[in-house]
Structure 1
Amino acid sequence: MTSETLLLENAILAAWQQNAQPWTQAVREQRIESRRLVTDRAVVEAVMACAPKRVIDIGCGEGWLARVLTAQGVEVIGVDAVADLIETARAQGGGRFEHLSYAQLAAGMLGERGDVVVCNFSLLGKQSVEHLLAAVPGLLNHSGVLVVQTLHPMMACGDQPYRDGWREGSWAGCGEGFNTPAPWYFRTLGGWLDTFTACGLRLIRIDEPLHPDSGRPASVLFVLVPAHSV
């Protein structure tokens, strides 16, 4: 990992640590329109379609998804690298919550497996994401599935060139109280597919949940299995 990439990866975590409280408020007050109208429901439906008994929610934040899944009879282990978010999630209950970095997860420190591993808008870096994705097969039970929801590349590209690379972040649409946003690593659709393949994962489904007003994709949702699975 180059020094520049390391700085950017560290800046992601620092920004989320700094903005944990306003993010929690934004989620609880349902300030983010695309989440309220489309993407929250989309990820819940994608996970529940797999009929899981246990789910590992990576980048669980303040735990909203864990609580929704637990209410539907699923055992959930939520994991996040931001201590304040994990403390908030534990205070609300609705799952078991562990404070682990993606590097620690990739190193096997969780010591658990699930029927579904879900990453809901939580894959923001480059090498950190690649190392985590390569470790996902070790977090899945037999016939387990990875569900990833992220920004749709065509919608998130904006006016910049459509190629993989680091981008400046933004808290636009999240309300007030936020400080410096986290940088993030933009991947084209092909970039995502190449990353999944390089990390030993095989795509079995792709969905593009649509915003009800604009008719444009609000996100892209990937369902994957380990490449060695039948």
Structure 2
Amino acid sequence: MSSPDPVAEEHAPLEAWDDAADAWAAAVRGGTDPRRALTDRAILDLVRQVPTGPVLDLGCGEGWLARELASRRHEVTALDGSARMIALAEAAGGKIEYGHTPFAEAGENPRKLRGAYGTIIFNFSLLDARITPVLAAAGAVLFPYGRILIQAAHPAAMIGDASGYRDGWRMMEEAAPGVKLIRPIPWYFRTFTTWVLELRRAGLLLVETYEPLDPETGRPVSLLLHVTIPERRPKRSAEPR
């Protein structure tokens, strides 16, 4: 994973994901990345902690998580900004409502998220520099006491990186170890402090954090955030004097 400082245009990451979709899907379905087995289990374990209600897999990619949840009788909607990823996900089957919905469109109009949900999942899908609108949109369609679950690169992963521990664009060059992408994919790295600020800007409340560890190295493989919407208390009417 290299660390230049690309000027990422708004649609460049989506175009890159379309180009990389087939190689990415093959790597995911082939189980060639041992780290992914750890992060996959981490998000599934977190989802299963409490009843989910309807689930939205937002940024579903080739659809592995949506299929896994649907096989466990969850009601699942799965959306992604890459048309090719959605085509691959639909071709794999499953009782899932799929849709092509770029995050920018969802951020402008939460109705594009197609419903209300008890659980909304961003599994390594918040990769753009501007994520506040789509986070706010997710909060707008979340049931009271529902959960937004975010899995992202652990901030400590960039300590010692040439770009340093600071927010900024990075480039993903492999779908899995040894599996080169046709075109590198830009993604935006955030420090832990920036994650907390993004949630606050979106009007969301951070409930818990989790840091699944690699049992061999003892190092965190990802950062998991459990987020919800603040309780909306009715305004008290003025007492008569």
Establish whether TM, by shorter chain, passes 0.5.
yes
SS in 1 for 2:184: coil
Q: What is the letter of the counterpart of residue 58 of structure 1?
A: L
Instruction: Write the letter of the residue equivalent to 1:116.
Output: T
Deviation at residue 51 of structure 1 after TM alignment? 1.1
| Corresponding residue of 2:127 | 124
The counterpart of 2:135, out of the listed 133, 136, 139, is 133
Partner SS for 2:225: strand
Distance 1:182 1:39 in 2: 20
The answer to whether 1:100 aligns with 2:101 is yes
Provide the rounded CA distance (Å) in 1 between the counterparts of 2:175 and 2:52. 34
Shift of 1:58: 0.5
Q: Give how far 1:70 is off.
A: 1.0
TM-aligned CA deviation for residue 167 of structure 1 = 2.1
Equivalent residue number for residue 171 of structure 2? 168
- Correspondence 1:53 to 2:56: no
- Partners of 2:6 and 2:132 in 1: CA distance: 13
CA distance in 1, matches of 2:43, 2:229: 20
Greater fraction of residues in helix: 1
Alignment of 1:33-112 (within 5 A): 33-36=34-37, 38-94=38-94, 95-106=96-107, 107-108=109-110, 109-112=112-115
- How far apart are residue 114 of structure 1 and its match? 0.9
Is the 1:31–1:175 contact (alpha carbons within 8 Å) kept by the matching residues of 2?
no
Query: Is 2:21 the counterpart of 1:24?
Result: no
**Does the 8 Å contact 1:26/1:174 carry over to 2?**
no
The amino acid that maps onto 1:90 is: E
Counterpart residue number, 1:153: 155
- TM-score, with structure 1 as normaliser: 0.91
Q: 1:113 offset after TM fit, Å?
A: 1.2
Larger Cα Rg: Structure 1 or Structure 2? 2
Which of 204, 210, 215 matches 1:212? 215
TM-score, length of structure 2 as denominator length = 0.87
Determine if contact 2:158/2:164 at 8 Å carries over to the other structure.
no
Inter-CA distance 174–111: structure 2 relative to 1 (3 Å threshold): same
Alpha-carbon separation, structure 1, partners of 2:118 and 2:75: 10
- Distance change >3 Å, CA 12–CA 60, structure 1 → 2: same
Contact 2:27 2:175 in 1 (8 A): no
Which of 217, 226, 230 does residue 227 from structure 1 map onto?
230
Residue 8 of structure 1: aligned partner: 9
State the Cα distance separating 1:6 from its structure 2 match. Answer: 7.9
* Contact residue 6 and residue 186 of structure 2 kept, 8 A: no
Residue segments in structure 1 that go unaligned for 5+ positions in a row: none
Q: CA deviation at 1:13?
A: 0.9
Give the secondary structure class of the aligned counterpart of 2:185. coil
Letter of the 2:214 counterpart: H
Aligned residues: 225
SS in structure 1 at match of 2:137: helix
Name the CA distance, whole Å, in 2 between partners of 1:5 and 1:193. Answer: 25
Q: CA RMSD in A?
A: 1.9
